Structures are given as C-alpha cells and as structure tokens.
Amino acid sequence: MLTVTQARERILSHFQTTAEETLPLTECANHILAGDVTAPYDLPLFDNSSMDGFALRAEDASLLTLSVVADIPAGSAPTVTLGRGQAARIMTGAQIPKGADAVIPVEETDFNSREAGSPAPKTISFTKNVKAGENIRPRGADVHAGDDILQKRRKLKPQDLGLLAMLGFANVNVYKSPRIALLSSGDELVDVNIPLTAGKIHDSNSYTLAALIQNTGADVLQLGVAKDSRESVESLLQKAVSEKVDLILSSAGVSVGAFDFVKEVVESNGKLDFWRVNMRPGKPLAFGEYHSTPFIGLPGNPVSAFVGFEIFVRPVLEKLSGQLDGIRRTVKVRCEQEIESDGRESYLRAKLREENGIYIAELTGHQGSGNLLSLVQADALLIIPAGVKCVPVGREVDAYLL
Ligand code: AMP
Ligand code: MG
C-alpha cells in the first residue's frame, strides 16, 4: 500500500504546466502569471497633490495672503510657474506646478466656497504653517521604473489587476486554465432535476467536484453520469478525449464491484494503475490514461471523493495551472475529545472554535464516508498521521482549513 505522499508524488510526476496565453486584463483574475512583470515607469508618474487645496512655496507660508494665479484640476497639465507670494488652487491627484513645493488643504484656508463648480478665489489666507513636501505625493513614491513588481507563478489578485492597469498593461501573459472533464458513474445516480424513484439517489459528486475544480481556477467539462455499462462509460470518456482536456476526473466505479466498469474501460483503452493508499477515507485510487489523456478515478462515496480531490487532485490542478508548488498550509488544532484511529493516515471532519488564540476541534459526528452533512458542518479536516491509533484529549494535530 502506498503512503499519501508517495501516491501524490507519483501522480504529480505525470503533469506539466499548461502552455502560456495572452489575455486581456479583464479576464486575468485568478490566472497564473507566466513571467515576471517589471514596472515600465514610476508611480506616481508625476508629483501630485494628496489634498484639495492650494499649491504654494512653503517659504511663503509666513506671508499673510497669497494671490491665486492658476486653477489646476486633476487631469490637467499645469503651465504656470509659481513665484513669490503666489498660489494655485489644486485638486487631489493634480500635478504640482513648477515653483510649488507644498500644498495647504482647503480646510486650513479662509476659502469657504467648497461646493462643486465654485470658481477659485483671487487671494487666499491661512493660519497654519506648512513644510516643504507636505501633502505632495512625489513621483516614484510607490513604484520605481524597473522594479520587479509581480513574480512569475503568482495567482493574480484583484489588486494586482489594478496595479497592472496603472502601469499600462492591457494584456498579460498567463498560463492557460486547465480543462478538466468530470464524470460520475453508477446506475443508482440521477440528476438533481429528476425525481427519485425506488433505489435511486441524486448525483452529488458532480456538483461538489465541479465547484472544487472551478475554485482552483480550472475549467470543467461536465460529462454527466455514466451508466454501469461498458458502452456508457466509453462514450463519455471518448468525448473527453475529443475535447482534448488536460485530465479526466471520475468518481465511483473503480472498486472491485461487479459493475465497476470505469476501471475496466480505462484499462482496455489505455493503462490503469489501481492503488490502495494508506489513508482514510478514500483508500482506493485509480490513476492512468484513457488513450493518452490522464485519468484519475476517485472513490464514489461523497466524503471520500472530496478528500481524494483535496489530497491528490488539487495539487495536480495547481501544477497544471502553473501555481507555486504550494504544499498546502496546515494549522495546529487542539483535540477536544479522544480520537481513535486505525493507523492509516486519516482525515477527520471537525468544527473549530477559537479560545485564547488556539483552535479547539470537535468532530462533526459520525465519520462515515457517505455522510455529507458532517462534511458540510466541518471547518477543517484533522490529519491523524499514519501509525497513530489514539489521539488523547488536549493533543494538538495538524489540520487543513476548509
Ligand atoms: P462505487 O464506487 O460505485 O461502489 O460507489 C460507492 C458509493 O458511493 C455508493 O454508495 C454510491 O452510491 C456512492 N456514489 C457514487 N457516486 C456518487 C455520486 N456521484 N453522488 C453521490 N453518491 C455517489
Ligand atoms: Mg457504483
């Protein structure tokens, strides 16, 4: 039997990051940068005012009254050069005129017409002193031309898109989103839109797994539910091949049941390794190729499928999409109850609460691999390492936050 780490490494070794593509900025959120980004110019690009007020020479602040010789709205290019005793009305973000080295906010002057559209005054008086540089955002204060601002393999966040826009990048080189074909299998499964009849259940894995895939930034091709027959499985898998997906992900139909055709169909049209991984839930795991498209077969039980995705599929999707090889971060949680384990690496559903900065974990009821509610109620998967048979009350273990 393989350890979780061995199984994951074997799977990961078969995948490479997808090709690059250039996307308009509007489509780049959550995509992975395919190269470092260097700033082409300074930000701010010019000295500008951080306040609505009056630009002046700081040394003139001791004068009682200044004459206002220009009005500088944001977006304009000032042409004046301020001389001694002169000021210019200026708006937030507007370029500082030559000669000025400070801005005095309008609130600190005797100019009271502050509603939109009011013309600039002829003169301005103020009481406060102002130092050189005050209320000016100098050129390059945020970014210098040539700065390495975003690194290859970063997942683009909304604020990254803002910075890229400020720096004039209308298009960005990213890795292509992986495309994943998803199927469920089993004669008992009917779609959520179809009323249940005797012996049937609604297909839940298609919904959970599709959302998990999409959350990583990959695209889903929903193949639907295969019947427990060779023909049905084959026709769905054929569709995945013709669509040239990066991975076929299935759930169920890979155990040792008499009707588990997924396993057989993959094996006879490609190759299949069927592994037993030393973990709970989700011991059976199928990995191979259908024709030459990589295939991962997760167990059918909804909680096993979820855990299998988190442990084996998420890292594959991250690698395909070019993300930093993130070993998923864990947090320490303190077990509120004694936990028995069977010695396999176990992933247990637990609710968390915080007490004095420490997470306290309480299992969410029965840990059967078909019990989806207990997964819904969980905030975390506790990781009980292989070889551990009992975790005493108060012991800390690692956990994945959900
Ligand atoms: P199997 O691997 O086909 O033996 O399925 C194991 C268990 O998971 C059975 O109880 C199935 O009914 C259940 N199961 C399989 N696929 C799904 C699915 N897509 N949604 C909900 N339950 C499923
Ligand atoms: Mg089945």
Give pLDDT tens digits for 271-294. 998 888 999 998 889 999 999 999
Atom 1 of ligand 1: nearest residue by CA position: 252
CATH 3.30.2350.10 corresponds to the domain 48-137? no
* Lowest mean pLDDT across 12-26, 110-124, 191-205, 226-240: 110-124
Give the pTM.
0.89
As a whole number of angstroms, the distance between CA 366 and CA 371 comes to 7
As a whole number of angstroms, the distance between CA 169 and CA 26 comes to 11
How far is the centre of ligand 1, averaged over its atoms, from the C-alpha of 370 (Å)?
A: 8
Atom 14 of ligand 1: nearest residue by CA position: 300
pLDDT tens sequence across 186-213: 999 999 999 999 999 999 999 999 999 9
Tell me the residue ranges of DSSP E strands in 155-269: 171-175, 179-185, 189-190, 201-202, 219-226, 247-251
pLDDT, position 304: 96
**259 pLDDT above the threshold of 80:** no
Q: How many CB atoms lie within 10 A of CB 275?
A: 16
DSSP 280: E
How far is the centre of ligand 1, averaged over its atoms, from the C-alpha of 186 (Å)?
A: 7
Q: What are the percentages of helix, strand and coil residues in the chain, rounded to 5?
A: 20, 35, 45
Locate the domains of the chain by residue range. Answer: 4-16+177-321, 30-41+144-175, 48-137, 330-401
The fold for domain 4-16+177-321 equals: Molybdenum Cofactor Biosythetic Enzyme; Chain A (3.40.980)
The 10 Å CB-count burial string (b at 16+, else e) for 311-338 is: bbbbbbbbbbbbbeeeeeeeeebebbee
Measuring from each residue's beta carbon to the nearest atom of ligand 1, which residues come in under 6 Å?
184, 186, 188-189, 201, 203-206, 251-253, 255, 257, 299-302
H helices of 57-216, where?
158-166, 205-215
How far is the centre of ligand 1, averaged over its atoms, from the C-alpha of 301 (Å)?
A: 5
Closest-lying ligand 1 atom to the alpha carbon of residue 206: 19
As a whole number of angstroms, the distance between CA 199 and CA 190 comes to 10
Mutational test site, ligand 1, from 285, 301, 306, 307, max ligand atoms within 8 Å of CB: 301
pLDDT tens sequence across 19-78: 999 999 999 999 999 999 999 999 999 999 999 999 999 999 888 899 999 999 999 999
As a whole number of angstroms, the distance between CA 28 and CA 109 comes to 45
* Lowest mean pLDDT across 140-149, 264-273, 322-331, 344-353: 322-331
Neighbours of ion ligand 2 (CB under 5 A): 186, 252
Q: For the domain bounded by 330-401, which CATH number is listed? A: 2.40.340.10
- Is 185 in contact with 295 (CB distance < 8 Å)? no
SS3 state of residue 97: coil
